[in-house]
């Protein structure tokens, strides 16, 4: 009888946690070793040839790392996974493995800045061409595809514009045009969105964010949907060298167990904050997939099991007022990154997306006035009070300035 799929939280707690044969340790042991002894030359040769099971060298695989990879594979509904030293190492390993001179990729214009810059600035030196377009309108993807296009790379929800791209529609385009569809699922996580189930080929994550969830590790992962991709990427990662350290892998695996608990709490806080922002006179605009006025509500309903915990907004008075707000908040921390238990606020144009050219940033909707709020797990009332006080301060100042006779 087919085994029924267990609940997400059950899998998150138990996946990749095989019983420890030596002592029965309930937590996966940390195999903090760079290399593994062979019993014989023939056994070593067999491991290198792939005819003997067992580990060789931690860059090529490690049991603690494998436990984390098994867990994420299961949660994403993939075939296999490869954990990496950072989200960027995961992304660059995919590009390094699949792109070549003369090939062209189409990508989301408002991706995490370095995911785009690495292609436009570095891979271009090796003859790789790219077009980054607004993939929230899939007709832009079709228009950008060339005969030499081999990859479609999307991020949804997008960092930091919180626009969405229709994964199912991208799957159809990718199948039609023979492209590899790669989805950065960092913002949604497998709790809220499973791109491989929708037909994507490969999923990447910055595990630095929600999967680890505690702002104490930098890590990434690549999830594949076929054995062929897994083998190619395993070899690609071995040569690229961006493997994860076993201790970091163990920390991420520990964080992963509470992903559902953390993200549901953060999401509920984000919903309350989006309502506060929506109603506050100091706020010019807000974008959050959970808000009734998000322009892609239908897609949110179809593609996601929840709106997530990151939102963006702009205040009246533009960047100057935004800076005051970001420096006035007390509980929210002025810092880049997201997906941790603590609420973070940042200014993408001068921080996370500063490496993009100004025109490219503006064209992608990453305006100077955009503020990103990555909501954490604090008590809702405290977060609301913190943001409301900072916004009230802006309104008071705005009224004072408006009321000052010239
Ligand atoms: N993908 C997304 C969607 C990201 O947001 C980030 C990092 C990465 C990939 C790269 O992951 P990393 O190498 O940092 O693990 N995003 C950041 C951000 O928004 N603030 O600081 C880092």
Structural domains of the chain in order of their starting residue, each with its CATH number: 8-30+61-256 (3.40.640.10), 259-399 (3.90.1150.10)
CA distance linking residue 92 with residue 87, whole number of Å: 9
Q: Is 159 close to ligand 1, i.e. is its CB under 6 Å away?
A: yes
Give the residue whose CA is nearest to atom 17 of ligand 1: 337
Which pLDDT score, from 0 to 100, does residue 12 have? Answer: 96
Which pLDDT score, from 0 to 100, does residue 401 have? Answer: 58
Residue 207 Cα: closest atom of ligand 1: 15
CA distance linking residue 66 with residue 83, whole number of Å: 8
Reply yes or no on whether 59 is catalytic: yes
What is the mean pLDDT of the segment spanning 232-238?
A: 98
Please give the distance, rounded to the nearest whole angstrom, from the Cα atom of residue 134 to the centre of ligand 1. 19
Q: Are 269 and 282 in contact (CB under 8 A)?
A: no
Which pLDDT score, from 0 to 100, does residue 398 have? Answer: 61
| pLDDT for 214 beyond 50 | yes
End-to-end CA distance of the chain: 80
Reading the block at residue 237, the tokens are: 């990662």
Which pLDDT score, from 0 to 100, does residue 3 have? Answer: 56
Q: Is 156 close to ligand 1, i.e. is its CB under 6 Å away?
A: no
Q: Is 115 close to ligand 1, i.e. is its CB under 6 Å away?
A: yes
Q: With bands split at pLDDT 50, 70 and 90, how would you rate the model's confidence at 17?
A: confident
Closest of 306, 203, 197, 311 to residue 262, by C-alpha: 306
- pLDDT, tens only, 62-117: 999 999 999 999 999 999 999 999 999 999 999 999 999 999 999 999 999 999 99
∠ CA 233-239-242, rounded to 5°: 80
More confident residue, 405 or 252: 252
Choose one of 154, 187, 202, 206 to mutate for the ligand 1 pocket test, by most ligand atoms within 8 angstroms of C-beta: 206
- pLDDT, tens only, 161-171: 999 999 999 99
Which pLDDT score, from 0 to 100, does residue 1 have? Answer: 40
Cross-strand pairs, 149: 104
Residue 209 Cα: closest atom of ligand 1: 15
CB proximity list for 385: less than 8 A, separation 6 or greater: none
| pLDDT for 402 beyond 60 | no
Give the residue whose CA is nearest to atom 16 of ligand 1: 337
Give the residue whose CA is nearest to atom 10 of ligand 1: 87
Q: Of residues 109, 134, 184, 386, which has the active-site annotation?
A: 184
Which pLDDT score, from 0 to 100, does residue 256 have? Answer: 98
Task: Please classify residue 174 by burial: count the beta carbons closer than 10 Å to its beta carbon, then call 0-12 exposed, 13-18 middle and 19+ buried.
Answer: buried
| pLDDT for 38 beyond 50 | yes
Reading the block at residue 80, the tokens are: 């296999």
What is the mean pLDDT of the segment spanning 12-30?
A: 91
Choose one of 112, 348, 355 to mutate for the ligand 1 pocket test, by most ligand atoms within 8 angstroms of C-beta: 112
Q: Is 96 close to ligand 1, i.e. is its CB under 6 Å away?
A: no
Q: With bands split at pLDDT 50, 70 and 90, how would you rate the model's confidence at 220?
A: very high
Reply yes or no on whether 122 is catalytic: no
Cross-strand pairs, 133: 108
CB proximity list for 399: less than 8 A, separation 6 or greater: none
Which pLDDT score, from 0 to 100, does residue 140 have? Answer: 98
% the chain with pLDDT above 70: 97
Q: Dump the DSSP string for 302-320.
A: HH-SS--SEEEEEETTHHH
User: Mean pLDDT lowest for which of 32-36, 46-50, 222-226, 350-354?
Assistant: 350-354
Please give the distance, rounded to the nearest whole angstrom, from the Cα atom of residue 337 to the centre of ligand 1. 7
| pLDDT for 358 beyond 80 | yes
Choose one of 83, 85, 87 to mutate for the ligand 1 pocket test, by most ligand atoms within 8 angstroms of C-beta: 87
Q: Are 351 and 366 in contact (CB under 8 A)?
A: no
Which pLDDT score, from 0 to 100, does residue 5 have? Answer: 78
Sheet with 310-315, side-by-side order of all strands? 283-287, 310-315, 371-374, 344-346, 333-334
Q: With bands split at pLDDT 50, 70 and 90, how would you rate the model's confidence at 2?
A: very low
């Amino acid at each position: 009888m087919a085994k029924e799929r267990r609940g997400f939280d059950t899998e998150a707690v138990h996946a990749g946690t095989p019983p420890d044969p030596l002592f029965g340790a309930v937590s996966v042991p940390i195999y903090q070793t760079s290399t593994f002894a062979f019993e014989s030359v023939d056994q070593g040769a067999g491991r290198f040839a792939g005819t003997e099971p067992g580990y060789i060298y931690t860059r090529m695989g490690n049991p603690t790392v494998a436990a984390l990879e098994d867990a994420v594979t299961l949660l994403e509904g993939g075939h296999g996974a490869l954990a990496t030293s950072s989200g960027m190492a995961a992304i660059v390993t995919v590009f390094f493995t699949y792109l070549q001179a003369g090939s062209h990729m189409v990508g989301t214009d408002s991706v995490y800045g370095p995911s785009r810059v690495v292609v436009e600035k570095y891979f271009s030196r090796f003859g790789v061409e790219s077009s980054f377009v607004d993939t929230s309108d899939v007709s832009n993807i079709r228009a950008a595809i060339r005969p030499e296009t081999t990859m479609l790379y999307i991020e949804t929800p997008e960092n930091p514009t919180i626009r969405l791209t229709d994964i199912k529609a991208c799957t159809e385009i990718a199948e039609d045009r023979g492209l590899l569809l790669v989805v950065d699922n960092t913002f949604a996580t497998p709790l809220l969105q499973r791109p491989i189930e929708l037909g994507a080929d490969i999923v990447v994550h910055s595990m630095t964010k929600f999967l680890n969830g505690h702002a104490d590790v930098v890590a990434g992962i690549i999830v594949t949907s076929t054995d062929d991709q897994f083998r190619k990427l395993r070899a690609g990662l071995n040569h690229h060298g961006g493997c994860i350290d076993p201790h970091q892998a163990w920390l991420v695996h520990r964080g992963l167990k509470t992903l559902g608990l953390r993200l549901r709490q953060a999401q509920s806080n984000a919903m309350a904050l989006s309502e506060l922002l929506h109603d506050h006179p100091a706020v010019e605009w807000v974008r959050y997939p959970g808000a009734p006025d998000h322009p892609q509500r239908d897609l949110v309903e179809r593609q996601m099991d929840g709106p997530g915990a990151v939102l963006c907004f702009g205040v009246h008075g533009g960047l100057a007022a935004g800076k005051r707000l970001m420096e006035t908040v007390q509980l929210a921390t002025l810092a880049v990154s997201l997906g941790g238990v603590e609420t973070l606020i940042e200014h993408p144009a001068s921080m996370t997306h500063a490496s993009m050219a100004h025109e490219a940033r503006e064209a992608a909707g990453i305006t100077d006035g955009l503020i990103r709020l990555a909501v954490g797990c604090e008590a809702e009332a405290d977060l609301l009070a913190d943001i409301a006080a900072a916004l009230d301060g802006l309104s008071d100042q705005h009224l004072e300035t408006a009321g000052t006779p010239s």
